[in-house]
């Protein structure tokens, strides 16, 4: 019997994502001026206020208040009507030095002997149902909101959009896990107050989403995926009605509260640890990226059409405590999941320092991960400029989303005889 599967995304203007972006931008600035910085930075946003908290060990000092304000303005919270603006909000910093008890277990004389920054399990997932090896419902959900943000910034076709929004896509699958059609699309977008009555306002928003936004999204998709859109899709556009009050004024936001949006939209699994604001010594982040890198390269090499990778660590211990692989019974190689996992451990060095080096994680690359998902984006090079009133100006050439590279496919094929 056919089944339905749903994933959601949230925009860069969603309160939780504002918090993630502030935390990751602070992390980037610490790493830009001191690549050995240890950072665990949390952010709270609410009406007119930002609270920064967490632990940092670094040789640099930052104007964290100004950095937070710049992020908020860049997202689009620049008007008093939003009850939250980068120019007028209060910013309180409660950041303090990292615990020596944690530091002594992580930092070692030889970087290769660096221990994991925490215990826990991390997951990576990949599927061949999309070109970027991501679950389809999540991929479309992200694309809807990325395009909606572009429309907001263009201020041409649709001029009433505000930064806060959410999307959700439901797809019908056949028994053999092949997408058949898109059943429902949900888009809730914050907007300016309308002079006209609520019914007319809602009709205009729905018309603009269905007739302007969705066609722009469809153009970015493969022909097979475009064919999943038909006239029977149920669109729920701002289903509660008016959505003028939004952002941190409508809902408080916290770092790390959108971990399923950040990863695989409910497909695969999640170990529970958030990413944003954490430097790569925190395996919650670095090992999750490494597990995605493994899963994606295994699927691209043809080991299986869908793969889940789990890795676990003990705080302060160099080697992972376990590596697990699940091919969902669809393996193309004559090996058990345990045998596949053993080969994975031989191909990929999963010590924390090795992950940092392989994926170039001690670079200021994290602001770009903090909205619309940490996985599934195109690897690319970018020049970034950082300025500090205390440390001057530094320019960094960085490579983004290294864990999305298919640079181990040939090695995997060789090891598995594919």
The number of helix segments (H) and strand segments (E) in the chain equals 13, 13
| 96 belongs to the catalytic site | no
List binding-site positions: 14, 16, 42, 55, 98, 164-166, 242-243, 251, 257-258, 274, 278, 282
Catalytic residue among 282, 285, 296, 374: 282
| 397 belongs to the catalytic site | no
> HSE (CB half, 13 Å, CA atoms) of 49?
9
Q: How far apart are CA 215 and CA 208, in angstroms?
A: 10
Residue 343 in contact with residue 335, Cβ under 8 Å?
yes
Catalytic residue among 152, 162, 249, 257: 257
Catalytic residue among 74, 251, 349, 399: 251
Q: How far apart are CA 288 and CA 271, in angstroms?
A: 9
Q: How far apart are CA 389 and CA 383, in angstroms?
A: 20
Token pair for residue 87? Answer: 């120019």
Catalytic residue among 8, 129, 284, 368: 284
Catalytic residue among 258, 293, 362, 374: 258
Catalytic residue among 69, 162, 278, 293: 278
| 207 belongs to the catalytic site | no
| 5 belongs to the catalytic site | no
| 413 belongs to the catalytic site | no
**Three-class DSSP category at 321:** coil
Catalytic residue among 36, 55, 70, 349: 55
| 282 belongs to the catalytic site | yes
| 284 belongs to the catalytic site | yes
| 360 belongs to the catalytic site | no
| 97 belongs to the catalytic site | no
Catalytic residue among 30, 243, 386, 416: 243
List binding-site positions for Mg(2+): 16
| 16 belongs to the catalytic site | yes
| 252 belongs to the catalytic site | yes
Q: Which of 167, 145, 12 is nearest to 77 (CA)?
A: 12
Catalytic residue among 42, 118, 129, 368: 42
Q: Could you count the other beta carbons within 10 Å of the beta carbon of residue 402?
A: 17
| 393 belongs to the catalytic site | no
> What single DSSP character describes residue 2?
-
List binding-site positions for K(+): 42
> What single DSSP character describes residue 82?
G
> HSE (CB half, 13 Å, CA atoms) of 394?
18
Q: How far apart are CA 116 and CA 105, in angstroms?
A: 8
List binding-site positions for L-methionine: 55, 98, 251, 282
| 156 belongs to the catalytic site | no
The catalytic site residues sit at 14, 16-17, 42, 55, 166, 243, 251-252, 257-258, 278, 282, 284
């Amino acid at each position: 019997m056919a089944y339905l599967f749903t994933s959601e995304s949230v925009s860069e203007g969603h309160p939780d994502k504002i918090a993630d972006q502030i935390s990751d931008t602070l992390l980037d600035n610490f790493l830009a001026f001191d690549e050995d910085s240890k950072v665990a930075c949390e952010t709270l946003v609410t009406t007119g206020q930002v609270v920064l908290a967490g632990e940092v060990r670094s040789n640099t000092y930052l104007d964290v208040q100004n950095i937070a304000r710049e992020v908020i303005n860049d997202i689009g919270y620049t008007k008093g009507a939003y009850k939250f603006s980068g120019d007028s909000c209060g910013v309180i910093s409660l950041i303090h030095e990292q615990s020596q008890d944690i530091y002594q277990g992580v930092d070692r004389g030889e970087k290769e002997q660096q221990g994991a920054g925490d215990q826990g399990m991390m997951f990576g997932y990949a599927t061949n149902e999309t070109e970027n090896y991501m679950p389809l419902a999540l991929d479309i959900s992200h694309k809807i909101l990325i395009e909606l943000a572009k429309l907001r910034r263009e201020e041409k076709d649709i001029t009433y959009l505000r930064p806060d929004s959410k999307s959700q896509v439901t797809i019908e699958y056949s028994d053999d896990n092949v997408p058949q059609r898109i059943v429902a699309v949900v888009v809730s977008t914050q907007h300016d107050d309308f002079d006209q009555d609520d019914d007319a306002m809602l009709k205009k928003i729905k018309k603009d989403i269905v007739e302007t936004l969705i066609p722009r999204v469809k153009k970015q998709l493969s022909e097979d995926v475009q064919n999943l859109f038909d006239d029977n899709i149920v669109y729920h556009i701002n289903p509660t009605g008016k959505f003028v009050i939004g952002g941190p004024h409508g809902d408080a936001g916290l770092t790390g509260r959108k971990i399923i949006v950040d990863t695989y939209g409910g497909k695969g699994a999640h170990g529970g640890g958030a990413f944003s604001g954490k430097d790569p010594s925190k395996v919650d982040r670095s090992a999750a990226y490494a597990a995605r890198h493994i899963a994606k390269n295994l699927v691209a090499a043809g080991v299986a059409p869908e793969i889940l990778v789990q890795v676990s660590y003990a705080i302060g211990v160099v080697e992972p405590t376990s590596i697990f692989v699940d091919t969902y019974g669809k393996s193309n190689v004559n090996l058990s999941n345990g045998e596949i996992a053993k080969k994975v451990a031989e191909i990929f060095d999963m010590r924390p320092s090795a992950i940092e080096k392989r994926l170039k994680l001690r670079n200021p690359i994290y602001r770009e991960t903090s909205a619309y998902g940490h996985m599934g984006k195109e690897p690319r090079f970018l020049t970034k400029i950082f300025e500090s009133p205390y440390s001057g100006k530094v320019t960094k050439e960085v490579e983004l989303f290294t864990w999305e590279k298919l640079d181990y496919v040939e090695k995997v094929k060789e090891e598995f005889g594919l």
